[in-house]
Amino acid sequence: MEDTLIREGDNLDITKERRNATFRVKKLAAFIHGGEEIVRRRKEIYDAVEREPRLKNSVPIEFLAREERHEEQARRAVAMTDVATDIIDGSDMFGEGIYYQSLIMGRDLHSLSLHYSMVLPAIQNQADDEQLDEWLGPIISRSLISTYAQTELGHGTNLSKLETTATYDPKTQEFILHSPTITATKWWPGALGKSSNYAIVMAQLYTNGKWHGPHPFFVQLRDAETHMPLKGVTVGDIGPKLGINGSDNGFLRFNNFRIPRKTMFMKNAKVLPDGTYVPPKHAKLGFGAMVFVRSIMIKDQSMQLGSAITIAVRYSAIRRQGEIVPNSGEVQILDYQTQQLRLFPQISRTLAFLFAAYEVKDLYLRVTTQLQEGNTELLPELHGLSSGLKSVVSWETAQGIEQCRLACGGHGYSQASAFPEIYSYAVGGCTYEGENIVMLLQVARQAFLGLVKIVSSIRAGTAKLSLLTSYIAEKQPKTRSKFTCVENVSAEDLIADFEYAAREQIFYAYDLLKKNETLYSTPEEAWNKTGIELCKASRLHVKAFLVRNYFNYVSKCNDSEIRPILDQLGKLYALDGISGGGVWFTRRGYYSDDQMATVRQGIYSLLEKIRPNAVAIVDAFDFSDRELQSVLGRRDGNVYENLLKWAQQNPMNRSEISTAYIKHLKPMMTEGKSKL
Ligand SMILES: CCCCCCCC/C=C\CCC/C=C/C(=O)SCCNC(=O)CCNC(=O)[C@H](O)C(C)(C)COP(=O)(O)OP(=O)(O)OC[C@H]1O[C@@H](n2cnc3c(N)ncnc32)[C@H](O)[C@@H]1OP(=O)(O)O
Ligand SMILES: Cc1cc2nc3c(=O)[nH]c(=O)nc-3n(C[C@H](O)[C@H](O)[C@H](O)COP(=O)(O)OP(=O)(O)OC[C@H]3O[C@@H](n4cnc5c(N)ncnc54)[C@H](O)[C@@H]3O)c2cc1C
């Protein structure tokens, strides 16, 4: 990161904002990203990407039609991976990998997305030694392209009802892959339509007449030379989507397609040559690739919200509209209190999500090490943390991006703002890797909380709780919240408030479930009738985690220049949650009406405090113009002249007269004239 982001020729308003900041951006950037060394590496990676001619992004992606976009993204993906080893440390998918990719690919998926984000980790963690030897080389050398084909037309969430079958034939030592119905067609896998010639296929395993549930297989789909689909395989692209249109998400059908026995991943479950099935140590080890993406996507989502808020804050600093005091000149829209309330909580959220991403990364790495030693103890905790964070973070990220867009008025609606690309990319995260509601129900069902199981054991005094769940066993305070005013409130008090709300809802949902179990004939029906309250419990639990984790992370900062900023943002995050959470905090009079009014006053005072530093804070996220790809969010703040330039490079403006005019409008007008 440069010493200063101020340069000659910059917009005067944005320069003034930077000059008036009370802290050095470099310091905050170092804290946010985990140290000066990481910020220095980011700069090194950025410079290397900028220097590399093959990584030049000359075509503005938003002007391209679908097929052109797919082709351009394939070009970039190949160039990106051609030079990757010279630029990044490939072992760090959570950090350098995400950053490097975002510099080149923007907000899109591409022909190699699934190859790296799901197939590579699945092979590393689920293939036996022999398979690893055979598959890892071609994956890394890119002599094959692969994807992860699990979801079907008829089933995405409910994996136990996938219809694709893999039936073992001991005579030939092969599996027969088959799609027995239309709804068995694989549907959605990224890069399946046209790019991949291999896929991890999830299919129901049958051996010696017995069913063993869904298992992963590594299957060749297309000829290595001609790239034509193999006999028995039907494959294609599913068509344009809300976003990620660089990716050829595809469909796939099998017609009694035979594959060798050793194409089934055999590190965990095994099928022996005679068809004997050897079960895995943990039934869900085969779902590891999903857990990996759920874990890495938290950082990706926080960076999407971070981009959106950087764009919105910078634009709000240069946009002047209306007067606060009559006849004293138009103000920067960032001066409106309402604008600040729309925007500043998104800054806090970005940080809360990013710090949570660091935590889930640590847990993922610990679990991976344990699994290598055959220990599955922490797997449920990781499943719960990654599922819960995935749901809350992707939902609030999507809502936050949309707020940022709306806060930029008309220009926010233009593709020049980048909001449509950011939103349509990020919101996919609410659905892929497990629909959000379903994932919240997983948190409630088992997950790292095992909420429902825990409640009964807590009441029995036998609960074995992890660090993440221990607060649930604490007694609810009889008094009200300790909150008196924003100046005096401590991190511990705010954490206690969120834990109160979560605990209250967890016990409430539990009691309701128990009551429903007496009203309905099966536990499953009772569970369904409690679904809304269970999801609320999971959400509050995750929010309590986010608040606790934010303050824990920030407690490592002793720098008097930036600590006050981090504290203000943390308090804003918590108070905005309390104010918006209303009923969860006022139950049993925990927060009184007066306290709630003081919370709102506290928010207003925080907005005022954050206002002078807002531009510098988003500068500390360290996004380059290359990453933001937004005319509104330019570092230099020179928005208007560049909006005009952007519109002028629009291919529709290449000629003065459009074909639409020639083919349709002109004949209509000519006919109109003849009727006069
Ligand atoms: C390089 C940088 C890139 C950065 C960008 C990153 C993002 C971009 C990357 C990729 C793009 C996106 C690609 C998208 C891919 C996909 O979407 S792949 C398809 C994903 N599909 C799903 O997620 C399906 C969701 N469904 C499920 O996970 C499961 O079916 C289920 C909902 C969990 C239910 O499963 P099931 O019915 O089998 O299980 P239950 O009976 O409910 O539970 C049984 C017990 O098992 C526990 N469980 C479930 N899952 C797991 C798990 N994964 N790990 C550990 N334990 C698990 C569950 O809690 C139950 O436990 P209990 O019995 O003790 O209660
Ligand atoms: C951008 C994108 C990329 C994708 N990439 C891939 C990929 O690479 N590979 C792949 O295999 N798949 C991929 N998918 C598919 C994705 O994983 C599924 O769409 C997702 O898991 C949701 O499943 P579904 O579509 O069957 O939704 P459904 O399960 O049909 O959900 C529809 C609604 O039903 C509700 N619902 C479903 N079950 C329950 C329940 N038990 N309790 C309460 N409510 C329930 C959901 O909450 C939701 O509101 C991708 C999807 C998208 C959008």
pLDDT per residue over 314-341, tens digit each? 999 999 999 999 999 999 999 999 999 9
d(CA 420, CA 397): 14
**What is the number of structural domains in the chain?**
4
DSSP letter, residue 332: B
Work out which ligand 1 atom sits closest to the CA atom of 439.
Answer: 32
| Ligand 1 atom at minimum distance from 445 CA | 65
| Residue 135 and residue 106 share a domain | no
Considering only CA atoms, which residue is closest to atom 16 of ligand 2? 432
Determine the residue of 45, 158, 290 to mutate for testing ligand 1's pocket, defined as the one with the most ligand atoms within 8 A of the Cβ atom: 290
Residue of 446, 451, 453 to test ligand 1 pocket, by largest number of atoms within 8 Å of CB:
446
What band does 94 get if pLDDT is binned at 50, 70 and 90? confident
Task: Give the pLDDT band (50/70/90) at residue 380.
Answer: confident
Q: Which atom of ligand 1 is nearest to the CA of 159?
A: 30
pLDDT digits (tens, 9 = 90+) for 24-41: 999 999 999 999 999 999
Give the CATH number of the domain where residue 73 resides. Answer: 1.10.540.10
Q: Which of 280, 297, 320 is the last residue of a domain?
A: 280
Q: How confident is the model at residue 449 (pLDDT cuts 50, 70, 90)?
A: very low
> Do 600 and 660 lie in a common domain?
no
d(CA 501, CA 314): 35
Decide if 627 is inside a domain.
no
State the ligand closest to the CA atom of 250: 2
Catalytic residue among 433, 499, 504, 533: 433
Backbone region of residue 232 per phi and psi (left: phi > 0; alpha: psi in -120 to 50; beta: other values): left
Helix, strand and coil in the chain, % to nearest 5 = 60, 10, 30
Separation of alpha carbons 350 and 348, rounded Å: 5
The answer, yes or no, to whether ipTM is higher than 0.90 is yes
Q: In the prediction, which pLDDT does 582 show? A: 79
Distance of CA 432 from the midpoint of ligand 2 (Å): 6
- Tokens representing 39? 């910020």
Per-residue pLDDT at 354: 98
389 shares a domain with 250 = no
**pLDDT recorded at residue 164:** 98
Q: What is the pTM of this model?
A: 0.96
CATH of the domain at 314: 1.20.140.10
225 is catalytic: no
Question: Whose alpha carbon is nearest atom 32 of ligand 2?
Answer: 435
Q: What is the mean pLDDT of residues 288-293?
A: 92
Angle at 354 between CA 151 and CA 600, to 5 degrees: 110
319 shares its domain with 182? no
> What contacts 100, CB < 8 A, 6 or more positions away?
45, 49, 80, 84, 87, 88
Kindly state whether residue 160 falls inside one of the protein's structural domains. Answer: yes
Q: Cβ contacts of residue 667 below 8 Å, gap of 6+?
A: none
DSSP H or E stretch at residue 177: strand 174-178
Starting from the CA of residue 433, give the closest ligand. 1
Q: Of the residues 239, 259, 280, which one is the last residue of a structural domain?
A: 280
Residue 622's nearest CA partner among 33, 218, 171, 14 is 33
- State the CATH number of the domain containing residue 256: 2.40.110.10
Q: Tell me, what DSSP letter sits at residue 79?
A: H
Structural domain that includes position 311: 289-464+485-616
CA 132 to centroid of ligand 1, rounded, Å: 23
Could you tell me if 296 and 148 lie in one domain? no
Identify whether residues 567 and 659 lie together within a single domain: no
Q: Report residue 625: phi and psi, to 5°.
A: -60, -35
Please tell me whether residues 72 and 201 are part of one structural domain.
Answer: no
Instruction: Look up tokens 């208007």; give the residue.
Output: 640
* 670 labeled binding residue: no
> Is residue 137 located within the same domain as residue 81?
no
The verdict on 64 and 91 lying in the same domain is yes
From the CA of 150, give the closest atom in ligand 2. 11
The partner residues of 199 in beta bridges, in order of sequence, read 147, 219
**Quick check: CB of 446 below 6 Å from ligand 2?**
no
Q: Is 151 a known ligand-binding residue?
A: yes
| Ligand index nearest the alpha carbon of residue 200 | 2
In sequence order, the 6+-apart residues with CB closer than 8 A to the CB of 372 are none
Ligand 2 centroid to 422 CA: how many Å? 21
